């Protein structure tokens, strides 16, 4: 088998990694032999891919392959950023249409809220408050958007600002709308996260907003995290990319949480 090297090989690796993670989400486990056959590369190449993904925290190595990591640590930001990009873009577009010009909006930490920020660049007279430095970077070139960065302790891994200072900053506002994400969503409809400091920030955002929109793709139903943010009962609109399982859809209807599938 002939493999490409240099720049082309690096580009191929860039596309393999997110697909490998998505396959692990769907199947629970990926094998070296199965991935080598799927991508048409050598076993050595796949072993190297899995080692790099494991070092990034995206997968956990097991004999003959890899599985998703435990529910006590998050996937690395760069790997999350490229997962399901098309779905997040659709969700961002749908969410942006729910936000009128002239609104005050909070966008919190997460790659999907960053997709919402990209979809807001044509809006006018927005006041956007965020604890996500990536959101601030996306919106900085757009003068029609007034931008406030909430204070807090910088989490270098993903540009998030968390902790008590962030909570205090958020409590100085009352937002028309908040757009939040989560790391996982369980069958009971509870929004979950890995970082307890971020949980406190998310809870303050919900409390200080007249209307809250959750943006979370289908992968969040296949994950677990140890810290609880809130119930979907506290969410006004849930934007996702796949139809919800029937029991959870029924709960959302009872809670009057409006679900939009992008």
Q: Indicate whether this model's pTM tops 0.85.
A: no
Q: H-helix or E-strand containing 65? A: strand 65-67
Asked if the structure places residue 1 within a domain, the reply is: no
Q: According to the model, what pLDDT value does residue 43 have?
A: 95
Q: According to the model, what pLDDT value does residue 7 have?
A: 39
Per-residue pLDDT band at 93 (split at 50, 70, 90): very high
Residues 159 and 240 in one domain: yes
Residues 118 and 198 in one domain: yes
Q: Is the pLDDT of residue 73 over 70?
A: no
- Among 149, 157, 61, 168, which Cα is nearest to 108's? 149
Residues 56 and 87 in one domain: no
Residues 139 and 19 in one domain: no
φ, ψ of residue 30 to 5 degrees: the values are -120, 145
Residues 86 and 42 in one domain: no
The span from the CA of 182 to the CA of 16, in Å, is: 25
Q: Is the pLDDT of residue 49 over 90?
A: yes
């Amino acid at each position: 088998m002939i493999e490409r090297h240099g720049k082309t090989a690096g580009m191929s690796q860039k596309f393999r990694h997110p697909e490998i993670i998505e396959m692990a989400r769907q199947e629970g486990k990926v094998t070296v032999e199965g991935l080598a056959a799927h991508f048409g590369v050598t076993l050595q190449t796949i072993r190297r891919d899995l080692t790099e993904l494991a070092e990034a925290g995206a997968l956990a190595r097991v004999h003959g392959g890899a599985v998703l990591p435990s529910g006590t640590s998050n996937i690395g930001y760069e790997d999350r950023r490229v997962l399901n990009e098309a779905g997040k873009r659709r969700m961002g577009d749908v969410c942006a249409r729910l936000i009128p010009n002239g609104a005050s909006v909070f966008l919190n930490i997460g790659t999907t809220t960053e997709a919402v920020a990209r979809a807001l660049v044509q809006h006018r007279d927005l006041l956007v408050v965020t604890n996500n430095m990536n959101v601030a970077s996306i919106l900085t070139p757009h003068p029609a958007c007034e931008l406030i960065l909430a204070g807090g302790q910088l989490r270098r891994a993903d540009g998030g600002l968390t902790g008590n200072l962030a909570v205090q900053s958020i409590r100085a506002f009352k937002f028309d709308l908040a757009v939040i994400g989560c790391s996982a969503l369980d069958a009971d409809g509870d929004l979950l996260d890995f970082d307890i400091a971020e949980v406190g920030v998310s809870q303050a955002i919900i409390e200080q907003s007249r209307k809250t929109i959750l943006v979370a793709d289908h992968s969040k139903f296949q994950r677990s995290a140890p810290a609880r943010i809130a119930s979907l009962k506290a969410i006004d609109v849930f934007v996702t990319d796949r139809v919800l399982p029937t029991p959870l859809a029924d709960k959302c209807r009872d809670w009057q949480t409006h679900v939009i599938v992008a």
